């Protein structure tokens, strides 16, 4: 008989990769014969809920959530206890720790069911999950009162986040059997700040069958050459750095174009920046692309740029680009180095450094043979190392170790449990 896993996803922000992962891994484990229950405490309702999913909507604003976050939440308690009574889970897997955090802590503290936590972002060690201080200084992490005085944009949520972390540290951290981390560097941050054992478990990408089967050709040769960015248009994604880097490149290479796919709150500001730099006629804002339009977009660009200037827990866009056989130029921070290996599958550059970004892009533009070699090797590694099947095997090995009462070494890899 398979395992029975009760998942709690407590997230109050907009949906992102974490929510996609939680539901995807539940799909994969259910397909492998393992029982799943999922309690969603988000302000986002999926279009097609899973049959084993319970949705308890919570407002995203901390002010609106105050009553449920700091005192008992009868609705959550009733659902949790009913799932425990009827489902008899072997373990509880906590994803995020945000909405209704105090009731979650009390419920899990009162339970003897083994607890596993996945750190989907850096919020255990940074109140704004960037790990970057003003001036581009990378922080050593750790949520303490000093965070209110470093110049970081912690804002009014700072004291709230300090209280939230105090609850987690005193109640849940001692009960957690393992902290699963999508990136190696996040595992190092958690270990350094006392969250142990921190175990590296890379996520996976669901690759469409047509992409998996390939093959992929280089971008079509022609009078125009394109490089691309795809993703949310937000300040921390670093697209403004990419525009700054692109300006001198486009002056030196009149045939070069930049295609920016995606949307978000920075769209207007980025358009205005392109105007100021005099490159508006060479920058295409393609908007949101999906399905075949997304595949056509990948076919149209020579390389994909991931210029994030704050913490990226994994770098799904970089992985998707590699599976489409496109080399990647990315910043050397967060989880991106787990996906892109410098001078093997692309280039890594310091974050928030437009000159370094421009130099790496120019290097690949001027050496198509090397760019092609990076692309082919990147696709091979992406399809070999980041599959749902491999991820599930490693996750099940972690679950087995927890249920067997084994002590996992901190800063280890979930892959080592398969050896």
pLDDT-based confidence at 4, cuts 50/70/90? very high
For all residues of the chain together, what is the average pLDDT? 92
> Is the per-residue pLDDT at 149 higher than 90?
no
Would you state the pLDDT for residue 341? 96
Between 48 and 188, residue with greater pLDDT = 188
pLDDT-based confidence at 334, cuts 50/70/90? very high
Lowest average pLDDT, out of 42-51, 220-229, 321-330, goes to 42-51
Would you state the pLDDT for residue 68? 74
Taking the mean position of all CA atoms in its chain, how far away is CA 246?
26
Quick one: angle between helices 101-109 and 74-87, nearest 10? 40
Q: What is the pTM of this model?
A: 0.93
> Is the per-residue pLDDT at 38 higher than 80?
yes
Would you state the pLDDT for residue 363? 98
Asked if 205 and 386 touch (Cβ cutoff 8 Å), the reply is: yes
Lowest average pLDDT, out of 131-145, 173-187, 379-393, goes to 131-145
Burial-class residue 268 by CB neighbours within 10 Å (0-12, 13-18, 19+). Answer: exposed
> Is the per-residue pLDDT at 16 higher than 90?
no
Asked if 303 and 218 touch (Cβ cutoff 8 Å), the reply is: no
The 10 Å Cβ neighbour count of residue 270 is: 21
In order of start, what are the domains of the chain with their CATH numbers? 4-203+388-418 (3.40.50.2000), 209-385 (3.40.50.2000)
Q: Quick: pLDDT tens for 49-107.
A: 788 889 887 776 666 776 778 888 899 999 999 999 999 999 999 999 988 899 999 99
- State how far the Cα of 342 lies from the Cα of 346, in Å rounded to an integer: 6
Q: Quick: pLDDT tens for 229-260.
A: 999 999 999 999 999 999 999 999 999 999 99
- Spatial strand order of the sheet with 304-306 comes to 283-287, 256-261, 225-230, 304-306, 328-331, 346-349
Enumerate the β-bridge partners of residue 10.
41
- State how far the Cα of 406 lies from the Cα of 233, in Å rounded to an integer: 43
pLDDT-based confidence at 1, cuts 50/70/90? low
Lowest average pLDDT, out of 12-16, 218-222, 329-333, 342-346, goes to 12-16
Would you state the pLDDT for residue 24? 87
Max mean pLDDT range (45-59, 116-130, 205-219, 276-290) = 276-290
pLDDT-based confidence at 302, cuts 50/70/90? very high
Taking the mean position of all CA atoms in its chain, how far away is CA 267?
21
């Amino acid at each position: 008989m398979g395992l029975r896993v009760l998942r709690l996803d407590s997230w109050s922000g907009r949906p992102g990769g974490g929510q996609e992962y939680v539901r995807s891994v539940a799909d994969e484990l259910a397909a492998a014969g393992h029982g799943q229950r999922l309690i969603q405490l988000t302000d986002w309702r999926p279009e097609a809920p899973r049959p084993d999913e319970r949705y308890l909507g919570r407002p995203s604003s901390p002010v609106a959530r105050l009553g449920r976050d700091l005192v008992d939440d009868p609705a959550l308690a009733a659902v949790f206890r009913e799932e425990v009574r009827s489902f008899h889970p072997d373990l509880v897997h906590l994803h995020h720790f945000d909405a209704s955090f105090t009731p979650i802590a009390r419920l899990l503290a009162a339970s003897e069911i083994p607890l596993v936590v996945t750190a989907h972002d850096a919020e255990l060690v940074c109140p704004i999950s960037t790990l970057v201080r003003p001036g581009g200084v990378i922080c050593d992490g750790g949520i303490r009162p000093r965070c209110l005085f470093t110049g970081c944009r912690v804002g009014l949520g700072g004291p709230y986040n300090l209280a939230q972390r105090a609850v987690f540290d005193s109640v849940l951290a001692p009960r957690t059997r393992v902290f699963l981390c999508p990136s190696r560097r996040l595992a190092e941050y958690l270990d350094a700040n006392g969250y142990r054992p921190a175990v590296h478990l890379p996520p996976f990408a669901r690759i469409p069958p047509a992409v998996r089967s390939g093959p992929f050709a280089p971008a079509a040769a022609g009078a125009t050459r394109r490089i691309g960015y795809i993703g949310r248009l937000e300040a921390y994604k670093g697209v403004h750095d990419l525009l700054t880097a692109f300006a001198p490149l486009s002056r030196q290479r009149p045939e070069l174009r930049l295609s920016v796919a995606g949307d978000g709150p920075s769209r207007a500001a980025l358009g205005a920046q392109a105007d100021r730099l005099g490159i508006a006629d060479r920058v295409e804002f393609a908007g949101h692309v999906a399905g075949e339009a997304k595949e056509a977009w990948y076919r149209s660009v020579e390389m994909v740029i991931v210029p994030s200037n704050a913490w990226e827990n994994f770098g799904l866009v970089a992985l998707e680009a590699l599976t489409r056989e496109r080399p990647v130029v990315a910043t050397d921070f967060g989880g991106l180095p787990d996906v892109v290996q410098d001078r093997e599958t692309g280039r890594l550059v310091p974050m928030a450094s437009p000159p370094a970004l421009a130099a790496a892009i120019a290097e690949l533009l001027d050496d198509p043979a090397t760019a092609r070699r990076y692309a082919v090797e990147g696709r091979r590694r992406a399809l070999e190392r980041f599959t749902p099947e491999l991820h599930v095997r490693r996750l099940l090995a972690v679950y087995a170790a927890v249920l067997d009462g084994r002590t996992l070494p901190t800063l280890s890899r979930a892959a080592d449990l398969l050896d």
